[in-house]
Amino acid sequence: MNTTTPWIVHKFGGSSVADADCFRRVADILESEREPRLAVVLSAARGVTDALLNLVALAERQDSQIRAEIAALRARHAKIAETLLAPASAQLYLASFDRDCHDIEGILHTVQLTRSAARNVSDLIAGYGELWSTKLFHRYLEERGQRGAVQWIDARQVLVVEWGALGPAVQWQESREKLHKGLPPPSPPPQAGEGKGGGVSTLVITGFIASDRRGVQTTLGRNGSDFSGSIFGALLDAKEIQIWTDVDGVLSADPRRVPDATVIDSLSYNEAMELAYFGAKVIHPQTMAPAVGRDIPIWIRNTFAPQKPGTLICAHPKSNLPVKGITNIEQIALINIEGAGMIGVPGTAHRLFGALREEGISVILISQGSSEHSICCAIPQDQSERAAAVVREAFRRELKEGQIQSVDVDPDMAILAVVGDGMAGMPGVAAKVFGALGEASINIRAIAQGASERNISVVVDGKHATRALRAVHAGFYLSPHTLSIGVIGPGTVGRVLLDQLASQSARLREQFNLDMRVRGILASKRMLLSSQALDLAHWRDELETRSVPANLDQFADHVRVDYLPHTVIIDCTASEQIGRRYQDWLSRGVHIVTPNKKANSAELSYYRSLREARRSSGARYLYEATVGAGLPVIQTLRDLRETGDDITSIEGIFSGTLAYLFNVYDGSAAFSQIVRDARQRGYTEPDPRDDLSGMDVARKLIILGREMGLELDLADVEVESLVPAGLEAGSIEDFLERLPHHDAGMRARLEAARGRNKVLRYVGRLDAQGKATVGLVELDTKHAFANIALTDNVVRFATRRYCDNPLIVQGPGAGPEVTAGGVFADLLRLATYLGARL
Ligand code: ADP
Ligand code: ASP
Ligand code: MG
């Protein structure tokens, strides 16, 4: 044999050999391979190892299901054999299968009697799956005749490992000798001219199993076939190791948790190892070790899409993204030891980990503050009770004497690990991880970062594991920022907002990686819920046909799902009752965007509780559209204050309705007529008294005043109502009927103003001392407020910097389009706060 002809190792996982079609696919892949020397390592067919181990468990429980389970395993393999193999070959295969079953029954019988299986017994049983899959495939590949002679290798005959504390240690020298002794002489090429370097050789090798030095069968641990693949790669000095599975490569996160995960094109061995250690099941962590020393590249590829390139794992990957992937390990417990007595005392950690080691409890993560006041470590959840007991025992004296205050266990935790070589020396990565978690209102219980800086691990509540994963994944632009959105009040403003979202969402997703998912719409009587994003082109029809009775609690629970990192409720109503819910929602981490003034102008104690809820949960509350609709009024005020300016006063026309009434009222028509007219055009509330009372303007002043830090309540605002005395109660019609009786009064005020060369405007005013007034005033005809159009709002900020010439914000301040636009702008602002880059 020409020893310079290199081997390529292909390993196929259980999902790649699950049924007859899978076997066919694997054979196709191998036959399309031009390389002459292939070593093919196979796992057991999907689920078979689990089923075999379950047999052992059944035997220990003396369960009578064993025979039926064995029969099911046989039926599954028989079906594949009968589909793929020539009848005689299938028969031979099944005859040997039956002998195995007979042996298994014998072994299990002993287990049933003793009610417990020694480790080597379960190893022996577990290993049959690989024997069955490889024997079958060996026959099949040979029958297809495209790869010349195919040799079956039972890894138990060649691979020697010794189990130690760190797992199975390969006995390289011994294994190499055994393997090379048994390697085939070169076989002739199947067709003249094919196969370079002296002939075609194909080995079919059992994954997962091996023997120890005494020749007793053992395994490489669960999912160990990847390890087998790389061990055989090293033993054969392979040029390349290809690991075939059911996904397109190593993904930036587990695709079952993060559907937007993307394929990583290349990874270093170390990165792959960290990802694997922290739960990326696609590859076994030990797989890398044999390849590293010999610099053998490992490819992860998809059996079901062999045309795709897959992921390359090698010493010097091309990609230089700082973060490559994010994984999590669930079902862990956190043990925390706390006590002032540990400070400066050497050996506490030693005793803690010594005690855990004695019990065979593996420690996944360790974190200790430099004060040495506490140490915590993460361990597998199912060992937490035992762990707590041994640790308490180990520190019994200190606990009794008070040097150690407590040994606590948090049983339901998860670790989230962010992995990437490029994080080393790059500031800001940890901040981004913590920021993304903070924005998603996820509390971090413990933190660990290896000195390699290749991995930042955090421990979070197990309930939030998936949401945490998604938030951090989105934080690094590895997937779109996803907002789960609920819209309340699909009326005038809400309807337009939904249409604006419908027309913009594709663009936002494409350009900015922003995924706005409206998952619920709540109207006054009905609501529409969907687990996916609603199709906003058809929400009206769906609200008619698919809705259920409205229920606010149910609605909020639906919109706030754990698997999406962020939830926002958009309240487009003017309802006080909904405004009262904000505190609860904010404290549960739900962001709120709204044009509804009720919550922010409610009594001061409620307003304070909203701020508090927001502060404690980290949720955002945006309400730019409560004042001046889409105009940047609140944002301007904030910018002024945040940059250190002092506000002297804010004045303005804050009501589009009242602006309109006085812009139009020139005496040629009666005031009552103008009100009627405005109402018909939709410029007023259904009941015009809601505008004329001035309360709406007063609420806006309160919102601005509180934004300035003033402690204002509605009662502090002096309001001049334009609803004549006596007309406050009664029906709308009644009011409109009787309003003309008061036209003369309004007319007199207009004439008086005109006599002084002035105009009438309905103005709100607020100063730094908290004096707030709302009412009709006379203004100079040149005044900025005297020269606005239609329903324009105008707001004038007098500040220390803008003192001679005030800062004016002016423009349409009412109407569904601009109000919805203001709400939409807040929604995008929220997305940027959450890390999206617009
Ligand atoms: P095989 O049977 O081929 O050994 P496994 O089921 O052991 O396959 O591993 C592949 C699975 O690993 C994928 O189907 C995927 O669900 C899961 N997985 C978890 N994390 C990742 C990740 N980061 N990248 C790719 N797959 C992952
Ligand atoms: N069949 C073994 C298991 O399920 C090994 C493997 O599939 O990698 O653990
Ligand atoms: Mg696997």
Chain centre to alpha carbon of residue 348? 37
Burial of 113 (0-12, 13-18, 19+ CB in 10 A): exposed
Chain centre to alpha carbon of residue 529? 21
Residue nearest to atom 3 of ligand 2 (CA): 223
pLDDT at 810 > cutoff 90: yes
pLDDT at 124 > cutoff 70: yes
In this prediction, residues 220-227 reach a mean pLDDT of 96
Ligand 2 proximity of 127 Cβ (cutoff 6 Å): no
Cα(12) to centroid of ligand 3, in Å? 9
pLDDT at 179 > cutoff 80: yes
Cα(129) to centroid of ligand 2, in Å? 9
Cα(228) to centroid of ligand 2, in Å? 10
CA distance 258 to 473: 8
In ligand 2, the atom with minimum distance to the C-alpha of 284 is 8
pLDDT at 342 > cutoff 80: no
Q: 10 Å Cβ neighbour count for 587?
A: 18
In this prediction, residues 344-373 reach a mean pLDDT of 84
Ligand 2 proximity of 229 Cβ (cutoff 6 Å): no
* Residue whose tokens read 């310079």: 4
> DSSP assignment, residue 296?
-
Token pair listed for 604: 């001061």
Angle at 729 between CA 726 and CA 730, to 5 degrees: 110
Q: Give me the pLDDT at residue 511, please.
A: 83
Which of 22, 41, 42, 43 is the pocket-test mutation for ligand 2 (most atoms within 8 Å of CB)? 43
The strand pairing partners of 448, in sequence order, are 457
Lowest-confidence segment of 110-114, 163-167, 349-353, 422-426 by average pLDDT? 422-426
Lowest-confidence segment of 15-19, 114-118, 501-505, 543-547 by average pLDDT? 114-118
What letter represents residue 638's amino acid? Answer: R
pLDDT at 537 > cutoff 50: yes
Lowest-confidence segment of 65-79, 411-425, 606-620 by average pLDDT? 411-425
pLDDT at 575 > cutoff 60: yes
Which of 282, 286, 469 is the pocket-test mutation for ligand 1 (most atoms within 8 Å of CB)? 282
Query: Mind listing the pLDDT tens digit for each residue in 674-686?
Result: 999 999 887 888 8
* 419 φ, ψ (degrees, to nearest 5): -125, 135
Q: What is the CA radius of gyration of the chain?
A: 36
Q: Give me the pLDDT at residue 813, please.
A: 87
Residue nearest to atom 26 of ligand 1 (CA): 282
The dihedral formed by the CA atoms of 625, 629, 633 and 639, expressed in degrees to the nearest 10: 40
**Measuring CA to CA, which residue among 597, 788, 592, 777 is closest to residue 685?**
597
The share of the chain scoring above pLDDT 70, in percent, equals 96
In ligand 1, the atom with minimum distance to the C-alpha of 226 is 4
Strands 217-219 and 209-211: what pairing? antiparallel
Band (3; pLDDT cuts 50, 70, 90): low
pLDDT at 192 > cutoff 70: no
Q: Is 499 helix (H, G, I), strand (E, B) or coil?
A: helix
Query: What's the Cα-to-Cα distance from 248 to each of 262, 281, 311, 713, rounded to whole Å?
Result: 9, 14, 8, 60
Cα(202) to centroid of ligand 2, in Å? 22
CA distance 158 to 181: 9
Cα(314) to centroid of ligand 1, in Å? 19
* Residue whose tokens read 């998809």: 302
What letter represents residue 91's amino acid? Answer: Q
Q: Give me the pLDDT at residue 2, please.
A: 47
Query: Mind listing the pLDDT tens digit for each residue in 655-668?
Result: 999 999 999 999 99
Cα(36) to centroid of ligand 3, in Å? 26
Chain centre to alpha carbon of residue 191? 53
**Measuring CA to CA, which residue among 540, 503, 499, 491 is closest to residue 682?**
491
In this prediction, residues 734-740 reach a mean pLDDT of 96
Q: Is 656 helix (H, G, I), strand (E, B) or coil?
A: helix
pLDDT at 643 > cutoff 90: yes
Q: Give me the pLDDT at residue 178, please.
A: 95
pLDDT at 477 > cutoff 80: no
CA distance 509 to 661: 42
Q: Give me the pLDDT at residue 371, please.
A: 65
Band (372; pLDDT cuts 50, 70, 90): low
The pTM of the full predicted model, rounded to 2 decimals, is 0.69
In this prediction, residues 484-508 reach a mean pLDDT of 95
In this prediction, residues 130-150 reach a mean pLDDT of 95
Q: Give me the pLDDT at residue 341, please.
A: 77
CA distance 321 to 267: 10
Which residues line the pocket of ligand 1, CB cutoff 6 A?
13-16, 43, 223, 245-247, 250-251, 253-256, 280-282, 325, 327
CA distance 492 to 815: 9
**Average of per-residue pLDDT values in the chain:** 92
CA distance 78 to 194: 34
Query: Mind listing the pLDDT tens digit for each residue in 770-783?
Result: 999 999 999 999 99
Which of 220, 245, 328 is the pocket-test mutation for ligand 1 (most atoms within 8 Å of CB)? 245
DSSP secondary structure of 393-456: HHTHHHHHHTSS-EEEEEEEEEEEEEE-GGGTT-TTHHHHHHHHHHHTT--EEEEEE-TTSSEE
CA distance 830 to 832: 5
Residue nearest to atom 8 of ligand 2 (CA): 223
pLDDT at 689 > cutoff 80: yes
- What strands, in cross-sheet order, belong to the sheet with 621-622? 548-549, 526-529, 514-522, 481-488, 566-571, 591-593, 621-622
In ligand 2, the atom with minimum distance to the C-alpha of 221 is 9
**Alpha helix ranges (H) inside 665-755:** 671-680, 689-692, 695-707, 732-738, 743-755
Residue nearest to atom 2 of ligand 2 (CA): 223
Query: Mind listing the pLDDT tens digit for each residue in 782-802?
Result: 999 999 988 899 999 999 999
In ligand 1, the atom with minimum distance to the C-alpha of 325 is 23
CA distance 455 to 1: 45
**CB 475, CB 320: distance < 8 Å:** no
Lowest-confidence segment of 317-326, 350-359, 462-471 by average pLDDT? 317-326
In this prediction, residues 628-642 reach a mean pLDDT of 95
CA distance 56 to 824: 60
